[in-house]
Amino acid sequence: MHKQYLLTPGPTPLPPQVQEALGRPIIHHRTAEYRALFKRVQQGLQTVVQTTQPVVVFTSSGTGAMEASVCNLLSPGETAVVILGGKFAERWKDLCAAYEVKVIPISVSYGEAVDPQQVREALKAHPEASAVFSTLCETSTGVVHDMQTIGSIVRETNAVLVVDAISGLLADECRTEAWGIDALVSGSQKGLMLPPGLAFLSLSPKAWKRAEAAKSPRYYFDMRAYKKALVDDDTPYTSSVSLVVALDAALQAILAEGVEAFLKRSALLANATRAGIQAMGLKLFAKRPSNGVTAVRAPEGVDTKKLVKQIQDRYQVTLAGGQGEMAGKVFRIAHMGYIGAFDLLVALASVELSLIELGASVTPGQGLKAFQGLIGAR
């Protein structure tokens, strides 16, 4: 039996207080006890999402909240601008197609961030656009887009800004209300340190107006039902009680540290990971790198599918490979949620050792030294 290390950008490792909460006896969701807990969870989610608006909780993976934002904010035949540049951004395009929304794509090369001026131009050319869809952190490339500037552009128009922050929340700065994000989508299994199974969607007043009027078919994901139930700290359908109890435990841990401090720690770990990778002689894939995940280009002659498998098989360290077109070309190390500095030292060491085993010219210890140089107390 070997100790396992999980460093993927979802699911992420669980802190002990979350694991403990998951093992508690189940309680009934239509009780005063549960409603008090759900109310506290609601306040915690608002702090994390940085909004005064309700944060609706769905029992689904993150994609459920992505789907909810499409079917609640748009009607068939409407137009949306979609910022591309990775596998998750492409999901917005597919969801729009499923709901018969016309897509105006903004193409972005993998590894690059969108130039916010392209969003301004797309909205000028398509004043009929009702929404702009983007990712905050594009987990497949490790890029974080400049949502503050994009928000300042979209808020001057009739369009709503919809942001997939499933991996970005609690890793990259995301001032939902202050930046003018109209729909903030997230999920449980990344920065929030929970198992997969919960999705979150928070709407601005501008977006709620659209949700009242949209004509797309919707039932389980109809935001109006959740808003109505929230008045009594309740949910329209059975809550995923154990996951919400665990969410309460996770939020209490996050709030005890403070959202700012939590983000600062992610930034420090991300920075040190990037330094470690570069000190090994490897190159970062993202031009504007996220603090949630580091995507690394394969060194000459190394297939990252082989590298990730080698690291798993020999060292029981789970990293992520590349997705889609990036398969074999990049590997990814997450530094979000409960992943700490010493987990990352393990990850970097396993990368160094495995690269050497695969014949790459890496001097052992270089990456670790650079990482420690940034992490240690000064």
Ligand X SMILES: *Cc1c(COP(=O)(O)O)cnc(C)c1O
- Residues near ligand X (CB under 6 A) are 9-10, 61-63, 88, 135, 139, 164, 166-167, 187, 196
CB-wise, 22 or 275, nearer to ligand X? Answer: 22
Buried b (16+ CB within 10 A) or exposed e, 335-345: bbbbbebebbb
CB-wise, 166 or 194, nearer to ligand X? Answer: 166
CB-wise, 165 or 345, nearer to ligand X? Answer: 165
Q: What is the DSSP string of 305-359?
A: HHHHHHHHHHH-EE-B---GGGTTTEEEEE--TT--HHHHHHHHHHHHHHHHHTT
**Whole-number minimum distance, CB 145 to ligand X, in Å?**
11
Give backbone dihedrals phi and psi of 58, rounded to 5 degrees, phi first. -110, 150
Q: Which two tokens stand for residue 157?
A: 């128009």
**Whole-number minimum distance, CB 138 to ligand X, in Å?**
6
Question: Alpha helix locations (H) across the chain?
Answer: 16-22, 32-49, 62-73, 87-98, 116-125, 147-154, 176-179, 205-213, 223-230, 241-257, 259-279, 304-315, 341-357, 366-375
**Whole-number minimum distance, CB 62 to ligand X, in Å?**
3
H or E segment to which residue 59 belongs: strand 55-59
**Whole-number minimum distance, CB 91 to ligand X, in Å?**
6
CB-wise, 151 or 292, nearer to ligand X? Answer: 292
**Whole-number minimum distance, CB 165 to ligand X, in Å?**
8
Query: In terms of DSSP bridges, do strands 79-83 and 102-106 run parallel, antiparallel, or are they unpaired?
Result: parallel
CB-wise, 119 or 166, nearer to ligand X? Answer: 166
**Whole-number minimum distance, CB 198 to ligand X, in Å?**
9
**Whole-number minimum distance, CB 61 to ligand X, in Å?**
3
Q: How far apart are the C-alpha atoms of 46 and 254, rounded to whole Å?
A: 12
Q: What is the DSSP string of 124-158?
A: HH-TTEEEEEEESEETTTTEE--HHHHHHHHTTSS
Q: How far apart are the C-alpha atoms of 160 and 178, rounded to whole Å?
A: 14
Give backbone dihedrals phi and psi of 371, rounded to 5 degrees, phi first. -60, -50
- The residues that bridge with 187 in the sheet, in sequence order, are 199
**Whole-number minimum distance, CB 335 to ligand X, in Å?**
14
Greatest CA span in the chain, whole angstroms? 62
How many Cβ atoms sit within 10 Å of the Cβ of residue 228?
A: 12
